[in-house]
Amino acid sequence: MIHIHYFTFSPFAENTYILWDETKETVIIDPGCLAQYEKEELADFIADNQLTVKHLLQTHTHLDHVFGSAFVKRKFGVKMLMHKNELPILSNVESRCNMWGIKGYEPVEADGFINEGDIIKFGNSELEILFVPGHAPGHIAFVNHDQKFVIGGDVLFRGSIGRYDFPLCSYTDLMNSIQTKFMTLDDDYKVHPGHNEPTTIGLERRTNPYLNQ
């Protein structure tokens, strides 16, 4: 049984996910902790619950999703895994932080690449990878079919969809990813997004204005 906890970090209100099971093995997804106290909050949660971090995973590498990635790699001695199409996004994070006047970002590099169909294992649990480009060129999502949830990043939100006005975004790819990878899941799949509260595939199928034009 996978437990899911999330923190909402930084001025961008980014959701950082911590998943673990009965073995206490853990994955951290999109660590957006920027301030020192946010990094301590994350580390304290791991320590207090006696969790063992196995992987650092990135749905994508926009700045708000990687603020704390270097810290997590160093603190827990884990590798950062992402899709290789994110390389041009990740390499641009430092200059975008400078543009936005954001201080405290520590540059980070990927340690390995993952792609659609790959399985991430931790403890007795598995996450399957979906390739869902559009909001970012190498955006991926993590699905668990036993418990019917998706850690979805910035693809589908409650009543909205990911932005498609950033460099290297594609509206066509985004809509195709949503329709072919998310909306083909059953209604009772829960979606845990990169911002704001969770939703379900069924709720979005019925009410999301971007999907019902």
Q: Which residues bind Zn ion (CB under 5 A)?
A: 62, 154
Cβ proximity to Zn ion: between 123 and 198 the closer is 198
**CB burial of residue 163 (10 Å; 0-12, 13-18, 19+):** middle
To Zn ion, the closest distance from the beta carbon of 63 in angstroms equals 8
Instruction: State how beta strands 190-193 and 149-153 pair.
Output: parallel
Cβ proximity to Zn ion: between 45 and 164 the closer is 164
Cβ proximity to Zn ion: between 146 and 165 the closer is 165
Give the three-class secondary structure for 51.
coil
Cβ proximity to Zn ion: between 45 and 171 the closer is 171
To Zn ion, the closest distance from the beta carbon of 132 in angstroms equals 12
Look at residues 74, 69, 76 and name the one whose alpha carbon lies nearest to residue 51.
Answer: 76
**Closest-approach residue to Zn ion (CB):** 62
Cβ proximity to Zn ion: between 25 and 154 the closer is 154
Cβ proximity to Zn ion: between 86 and 154 the closer is 154
To Zn ion, the closest distance from the beta carbon of 108 in angstroms equals 16
To Zn ion, the closest distance from the beta carbon of 48 in angstroms equals 29
Look at residues 48, 58, 46, 59 and name the one whose alpha carbon lies nearest to residue 20.
Answer: 46
- Interior angle at CA 193, CA 149 and CA 84, nearest 5: 90
Ranges of H-type helices in 49-168: 63-66, 69-76, 87-90, 93-100
Look at residues 147, 124, 146, 120 and name the one whose alpha carbon lies nearest to residue 24.
Answer: 124
Which pair of tokens denotes residue 193?
A: 């997004």
To Zn ion, the closest distance from the beta carbon of 60 in angstroms equals 6
To Zn ion, the closest distance from the beta carbon of 59 in angstroms equals 8
Tallying the residues shown for the chain, one arrives at 213
